[in-house]
Amino acid sequence: MSIDLDHYYDTQYLPVSRYNGQMTPAFQAALADTYAAAEARDCVFTHAVSLPGGGVQPGVLDLRGSETAMLGGVPLAGKRVLEYGPSSGWLTAHLAAVAREVVAIEWPRGAEASMVPTYAPLPASARADVHALMERMRASWWVTRRAVGFDAGIVYADLQAPPSDLGRFDVSVLASVLLRLPNPYLALQGAAEITNETIIVTEPVTEAVRPDETERPIALFAPTDPTTDTNHWWHHSPAAVCRMLTTLGFARIDVSIHSVAGPVLPLPFFTVVARRNGVPVIRAVPG
């Protein structure tokens, strides 16, 4: 029997588009129905949310008042925006208030975040706890959406390989996302392929990457306990993010430092605003 090896390896190499079809009105309605009964007490909030009537839902961080700084002051009016890892949705609400259209992409339902593998596999009970934690976080986005009343779509997919049917975006936002991914460059590559104008990356300034090293392109492997709600892989210096984005054709870069209200003290963050330095190359994705 003759085997066409060239055909075999060519077809295996082609990227496989997963999680397509989620942006249809019917699918979005099904997601909304799934989380319609979610209540704040059942959720995990990664950041605070202002509620109608003057109330506040507490969270680990408080982004309120820091939104413009986090986004590097980029004008978003009339823009189509893709937000990676929206967590509890407060930044989504801000984006939806100023942009033409917002689509968020979060980890798939039924899956935990990309946890750092260790020599001792997690017990089944621990993995179930992580699944439950992630689902409570997903639900918080819908509670925020319902409370604030913003208009945005959401898909659940691999953050390192967005669905191929999302279309193109003017701006992509990755706020505290790269540090949670095994391959942050792959995520930026995926964003670069579907972003026409600007990529915005916000990450915490950590003690592990000292302030005097922010000009060095450092990606420090610094895994946290995978069973916690701070499932981190990396600490990045601003220069590391800048180099990755420059390599991807987003070389017109501004970097700023700002603070976000933390549990005890304000926490320093950096924001990289990277603008495309040429006409985007639009690659066809095999069906």
Residue 3 in any domain: the answer is no
Write down the pLDDT at residue 72.
94
Sign, CA torsion 82/87/89/95? negative
Structural domain harbouring 266: 18-275
Q: Cα dist. 210→50, 205, 238 in Å?
A: 33, 8, 11
Average pLDDT of adjacent 10-residue blocks, the chain of 287 residues: 74 73 94 93 90 85 92 96 95 97 90 68 76 88 94 94 94 95 94 97 81 74 71 87 95 91 83 84 46
Query: How many CB atoms neighbour CB 272 within 10 A?
Result: 24
Record the pTM.
0.89
Q: CA-to-CA distance for 40 and 201, rounded, in angstroms?
A: 28
Whether 8 maps to a domain, the answer reads no
- Provide the β-strand partners of residue 80: 101
Residue 283 lies in a domain: no
Q: Is residue 5 included in any domain, yes or no?
A: no
Tell me the pLDDT tens digit for each residue of 142-168: 999 999 999 999 999 999 999 999 999
Confirm whether 4 is domain-assigned. Answer: no
Q: Tell me the per-residue pLDDT of 18-47, one tens digit each, with 9 for 90 and over.
A: 889 999 999 999 999 999 999 999 999 998
Looking at the domain assignment, is residue 284 inside a domain?
no
In a domain, 13, yes or no: no
Amino acid at 100: R
Long-range contacts of 135-138 (CB under 8 A, 24+ apart): 135/109, 136/42, 136/43, 136/44, 137/43, 137/44, 137/46, 137/87, 137/88, 137/229, 138/35, 138/106, 138/107, 138/109
Q: What pLDDT, on a 0 to 100 scale, did the predictor assign at position 208? A: 65
Residue 2 falls inside a structural domain: no
**Cα-based distances in Å from 111 to 66, 118, 127:** 30, 18, 10
How distant is the alpha carbon of residue 40 from its chain centre?
Answer: 22
CA–CA distance, 256 with 202 (Å, rounded to integer): 10
How many angstroms from the chain centroid is the CA of residue 256?
19
User: How many domains does the chain divide into?
Assistant: 1
CATH number of the CATH domain containing 122:
3.40.50.150
